[in-house]
Amino acid sequence: MTDIEQPVSSTMLSAWEVDSKVERETSHLPAEWEMVIGLEVHAELATETKMFSPARNHFGSEPNTNVHPVCLGLPGTLPVVNGKAVELSIRLGLALNCHVQRCVFARKNYFYPDMPKDYQISQYDRPLNINGWLELASGHTIGIERAHMEEDTGKSTHVGESGRIHDAGYSLVDYNRAGVPLIEIVSHPDIRGPEEAKEYVAELQRILIAVGASDGKFEEGSLRVDANVSVRPAGSDELRTRCEVKNVNSLRSLGRAIQYETQRHVDLYLAGDRPVQETRHWDEEGGRTRAGRSKEQAEDYRYFPDPDLVPVDPSPEWIEEIRQSLPVLPRERRQRLVDAGGTAQAAALAVERDLDQLAFDAMSQGADPERTLKHVANNLAVDGAQTLDPSNFAELVKLETGGGLTATQAKQVLAEMVETGNAPGDIAAQRGFEAMESSELEGLLDGIIAASPDEWSRFCEGEAKLQGFFTGQIMKATKGQADGKEIAKLLAQKSAG
Ligand code: MN
């Protein structure tokens, strides 16, 4: 079985270079221009076996060990649809608010050495999932045109100085990936800039992982992004010639590729020229895109229904059963925190760090939402934060908002709670973090005034910078345990009186 019940790993999320900012970005293009971006994301499905054969679906095996006559395209073999792959595809489709329909597999014909049948089994005019949408943390909604099933190709390695086919001495082919189940998610051209594109892919990745459809690992090729990029005069709704940028292997590259490619289009238009429709490759080292083949039209692939496969017609009961089994999705997790009193931005960060359940539970036990989410944002980006006990976390926040701990003390106690699992009250007592009575504070200040009468009278006459001097003296005497706000209040009272 696949590990679909596993929670989202926050350590993986941080490796994806996701920007924590969720505001809508400003484009770097001249204000008269607008970016128009649609993304095609291929995700490998988390099945045990391949799309149409019993060969293992596993990353990192010895080359050409996870193979079977079907994925080698040997004559006389026949494909059999992997039911688990269909189920995972429906799970994703439902999570993307798609309509799930009766669908047909089609052959997409082209030649490449890592695709031994000379055609890829995909879906064409009857894809499984259509007409969905995905809401970003910013609240902007991106339309999903389709999410269809297909098989992956094998992997070629061109052996030569550049690693490119043109100057390779020879090429190696690994068929382990040939026939691995894929879902291809095609967005509408609703994306308006590189940051939003990254945000879309990051959200899609969270959804893929949440529903168990894919492990979503860029670094293992489980997620691959192609970007359809064009520009147009701002405010117009025309769609101009687009280029498809391939070979984008990380979120950072995606942002850079979109920056580069849109600027290239604007430069062409400004020079009285125009881009041609083509496939371009992102050159990570050169920081630019390079022309590949001129873009095929659909007819070049000579799509036709695969006669070896029957249509897949999921029953309404099965679809409903899958819908019922879906987990709470990232969008709903964010909304829950917003409803409980958090800001959209703080909620997004909590979900990204997979600490939203902890925060929600603490807030349900009476912890102040703003203070709770502040700790999540500033003090809990550490290993072990997920294991915090929600009641203890709530207790800490309450101690702090109740004045029993200063912000600095709370931060220290929280760090020790993550490390030891001890209760905040015990840690505070052990460290001597008892709330300092204001009378105690006042007594301290009186002593300091007696020792520095000059400074005190200058302060009372309005020399404001001496505030820092007296605050510092009190902090020194209390080893930093006094509350800064309390000190300020006391100084104001005493100097006025
Ligand atoms: Mn595809």
In this prediction, residues 15-40 reach a mean pLDDT of 66
Asked whether residue 235 is domain-assigned, the answer is yes
What pLDDT, on a 0 to 100 scale, did the predictor assign at position 488?
Answer: 87
| Residue linked to tokens 């873009």 | 295
- Under a CB-based contact definition with an 8 Å cutoff, are residues 467 and 474 in contact? no
Q: What is the pLDDT of residue 270?
A: 95
Q: How far apart are CA 111 and CA 131, in angstroms?
A: 31
- Judgement on whether residues 271 and 392 belong to the same structural domain of the protein: no
Instruction: Please give the residue that has the higher pLDDT: either 409 or 266.
Output: 266
CA 287 to centroid of ligand 1, rounded, Å: 25
**Which chain residues have CB less than 5 Å from ligand 1, an ion?**
184
Q: Which residue has the higher pLDDT, 166 or 454?
A: 454
What would the pLDDT profile of 277-295 be if each residue is shown by its tens digit?
Answer: 999 999 988 999 999 866 5
473 C-alpha to ligand 1 centroid (Å): 68
Q: Is the pLDDT of residue 150 over 80?
A: yes
- Which amino acid is residue 335, in one-letter code? Q
Cα(42) to centroid of ligand 1, in Å? 7
Between the CA of 223 and the centroid of ligand 1 the distance, in Å, is 12
pLDDT for 15:
29
How many angstroms separate the alpha carbon of residue 24 from the centre of ligand 1?
Answer: 29
Is 170 inside a domain boundary? yes
Give per-residue pLDDT as tens, 72-103: 999 999 999 999 999 999 999 999 999 999 99
Residue 155 CA to ligand 1 center (angstroms) comes to 15
| pLDDT category of residue 493 using cuts at 50, 70 and 90 | confident
- Summarize the confidence of residues 469-488 as an average pLDDT: 83
CA of 184 to the centre of ligand 1 (A): 6
- pTM of the entire structure? 0.80
Q: Maximum distance among all alpha carbons in the chain? A: 101
Say how many Å lie between the CA of residue 182 and the centre of ligand 1.
Answer: 8
Residues 291 and 371 in one domain: no
Residues 396, 414: contact at Cβ < 8 Å? yes
pLDDT for the residue 293: 67
Domain assignment present for residue 422? The answer is no
Sign of CA dihedral 118, 121, 126, 130: negative
Inter-residue contact 455 to 409 (CB < 8 Å): no
pLDDT the model gives residue 19: 39
Same domain assignment for residues 461 and 382: no
CA of 9 to the centre of ligand 1 (A): 27
CA of 307 to the centre of ligand 1 (A): 20
Q: Is residue 38 part of a domain?
A: yes
| Distance from Cα 275 to the centre of ligand 1, integer Å | 24
Calpha distance 219→423 (Å, rounded): 39
Residue 56 Cα to ligand 1 midpoint, Å, equals 21
Q: Is the pLDDT of residue 486 over 70?
A: yes
What is the pLDDT, as a whole number, of residue 7? 35
My answer on whether 352 and 489 are in the same domain is no
Q: How many angstroms is it from 186 CA to the middle of ligand 1?
A: 9
- Mean pLDDT for the stretch of residues 196-204: 97
Cβ 385 vs Cβ 355: under 8 Å: yes
154-184 per-position pLDDT tens digit? 999 999 887 778 888 999 999 999 999 999 9
Distance CA(441)–CA(474), nearest Å, equals 8
Question: If you measure from the C-alpha of residue 125 to the centroid of ligand 1, how many angstroms do you get, rounded to a whole number?
Answer: 14
Domain count, the chain: 3
Q: Are residues 51 and 187 in the same domain?
A: yes
Question: For the chain, what is the mean pLDDT?
Answer: 89
Distance from residue 481's CA to the centre of ligand 1 (Å)? 60
Three-state SS sequence of the chain? CCCCCCCCCHHHHHHCCCCCCCCCCCCCCCCCEEEEEEEEEEEECCCCECCCCCCECCCCCCCCCCCCCCCCCCCCCCCCCCHHHHHHHHHHHHHCCCEECCECEEEEECCCCCCCCCEEEEECCCCCEEEEEEECCCCCEEEEEEEEEEECCCEEEEECCCCCHHHCCEEEEECCCCCCEEEEEEECCCECCHHHHHHHHHHHHHHHHHCCCCCCCHHHCCEEEEEEEEEEECCCCCCCCCEEEEEECCHHHHHHHHHHHHHHHHHHHHCCCCCCCEEEEEECCCCEEEEEEECCCHHHHCCEECCCCCCECCCHHHHHHHHHCCCCCHHHHHHHHHHCCCCHHHHHHHHHCCCHHHHHHHHHCCCCHHHHHHHHHHCCCCCCHHHCCHHHHHHHHHHHHCCCCCHHHHHHHHHHHHHHCCCHHHHHHHCCCCCCCHHHHHHHHHHHHHHCHHHHHHHHCCCCCHHHHHHHHHHHHCCCCCCHHHHHHHHHHHHHC
pLDDT-derived band at 27, boundaries 50, 70, 90 = low
Encoded amino acid at 465, one letter: K
Query: Quick check: 18 pLDDT over 50?
Result: no
Examine residue 353 and state whether it is found in any structural domain, yes or no.
Answer: yes
Q: Please, which pLDDT band fits residue 298 given cuts at 50, 70 and 90? A: low
pLDDT of 294: 65
Residue 436: predicted pLDDT: 64
For residue 317, report the distance from its CA to the centre of ligand 1, in Å: 29
Distance 490 CA to ligand 1 centre (A): 68
Distance 150 CA to ligand 1 centre (A): 7
Whether 413 is in a domain gets the answer no
Q: What's the whole-number mean pLDDT along residues 25-42?
A: 86
Q: How far is the CA of 224 from the centre of ligand 1 (A)?
A: 10
From 235, 253, 120, 250, select the one nearest 180 (Cα to Cα): 120
Residue 369: the pLDDT is: 95
Domain endpoint, select from 282, 300, 321: 321
Do 182 and 85 belong to one domain?
Answer: yes
Q: How far is the CA of 336 from the centre of ligand 1 (A)?
A: 35
74 in a structural domain: yes
Length of the chain: 497
Distance of CA 247 from the midpoint of ligand 1 (Å):
13
Q: How far is CA 222 from CA 65, 184, 216, 288, in A?
A: 19, 11, 5, 24
Helix axes 194-210, 330-339, angle to 10 degrees: 100
The reply to whether 238 and 161 lie within a common domain is: yes
- 346 C-alpha vs ligand 1 centroid, how far in Å? 36
Residues 300 and 344 in one domain: no
Does residue 308 sit in the same domain as residue 375? no
Find the 108 Cα to ligand 1 centroid distance in Å: 10
Q: Which of 405, 430, 447 is the last residue of a domain?
A: 405
Q: Do 344 and 477 lie in a common domain?
A: no
| pLDDT tens string 393-443 | 999 999 998 888 888 889 999 999 999 999 999 999 888 886 666 677 888
User: What is the pLDDT, as a whole number, of residue 244?
Assistant: 95
Q: How far is the CA of 460 from the centre of ligand 1 (A)?
A: 75
The rounded Å distance from CA 474 to ligand 1 centre is 67
Rounded CA gap, 190 and 38, in Å? Answer: 6
| Distance from Cα 227 to the centre of ligand 1, integer Å | 12
For residues 102 and 315, what is the distance between their CA atoms, to the nearest angstrom?
9
- The domain in which residue 390 lies consists of 334-405
CA of 54 from ligand 1 middle (Å) equals 22
Same domain for 311 and 342? no
**Domain membership flag for residue 95:** yes
- The answer to whether the beta carbons of residues 340 and 364 sit under 8 Å apart is yes
Rounded to 5°, angle at Cα 124 from 123 and 127: 60
248 Cα–ligand 1 center, Å: 14
Q: Which one of 277, 295, 321 terminates a domain? A: 321
Confidence at 477, pLDDT banded by 50, 70, 90: confident
CATH number, domain containing residue 470: 1.10.10
Do 304 and 362 have their domain in common? no
pLDDT value at position 404?
84
